[in-house]
Structure 1
Amino acid sequence: MSIKYKINTMISVDQFIELLNESTLGERRPIDDRECMEGMVSNSNFVVTAWDDEKMIGIARSITDFSYACYLSDLAVHKHYQKKGVGKKLQIITQEQLGPKCKLMLIAAPAANAYYEHIGFTNNPRCWVLDRDQDISS
């Protein structure tokens, strides 16, 4: 198996959705909302992908300033390629492109907590989420 990794290679929304479905991450993403998915692809400013020939089999999709913070919003690996180091390599390449003080941050699915701890991430309980439909005006 010869996996090639690419930085900021253009991908289609269909390729992204297909990978999310094949990785199980599609269960937690709005894959039926094409407009949202298009925004997710086009507005990411740093993407590392993994390819087996012409098939995208992994993605690390981030939003970053490259200096202080990098939010890894999607890390997905096709289920047939999981547990082969693809996800870890995607994160290593992501981190190599960031400045020396830039932190890599993510919100893990509950089932993935052990994985992130295993590869060196530390748990930070200070994450807060504000859903779009919440009223914060009062």
Structure 2
Amino acid sequence: MTTVYAREDFLGADDYIDIVRKSGLNRPIEDRGRVERMLAHANLIVTARQDSRLVGFARSLTDFCFCCYLSDLAVDKACQGQGIGRRLIDETRAQAGGPMTTTLLLSAPTAMTFYQGIKMPHADNCFLYRREQ
């Protein structure tokens, strides 16, 4: 099956919630208002579609020339193992400014093996304040 990748200016809350649920990604999908704010303020969304059906997405915040925070990477479990996640990362990097832009992703503990498997570089110099809610 052919997968079409594209930058989209809008991703609806229903589509986001559906793929997050189907992917197993831990996001606050029970709080629709929060999801809508997350989507409204993201400025880079790359999607993967098969027969026009959304099967994955990458949601990021970027300045398109120096830094990109890839906040959400989600692929429907039924479509995992097809290289979609890796391609969404590659497309995000290209859209965010290519080699001049640092792309940062904070992995959930359960997804570490995926990022290690695609040989995504690992950083030891990250500091963060964790969400309290």
Q: Same fold (TM over 0.5)?
A: yes
Structure 1 runs, 4 residues or longer, greater than 3 Å off: none
Tell me what 2:65 maps to: 67
SS in 2 for 1:40: helix
Amino acid of the residue matched to residue 17 of structure 2? Answer: I
Q: Which amino acid letter does the alignment assign opposite residue 102 of structure 1?
A: T
Runs of 5+ consecutive residues of structure 2 not aligned to the other structure: none
Q: Could you tell me how far 1:57 is from its partner in structure 2?
A: 0.4
Superposed CA deviations along residues 13-50 of structure 1, whole A, max 9, x for unmatched, are 0110000000000xx21111111100111110001000
Q: Number of paired residues?
A: 132
> Which among 83, 92, 117 is matched to residue 90 of structure 2?
92
Larger radius of gyration, structure 1 or 2?
1
Per-residue deviation, 1:60: 0.6
**Cα displacement (A) at 1:8:** 1.9
| Map of 1:2 onto structure 2 | 2
Q: Which amino acid aligns with 1:53?
A: D
Gaps of at least 5 residues in structure 1 are: 134-138
Counterpart of 2:21 in structure 1 is: 21
Shift of 1:9: 4.2
The share of aligned pairs that are identical, in percent, is: 38
Whole-angstrom CA distance in 2 between matches of 1:119 and 1:94: 15
CA contact (8 A) 2:9 2:44 kept: no
Deviates further, 74-83 or 118-127: 118-127
TM-score if structure 2 supplies the norm length?
Answer: 0.91
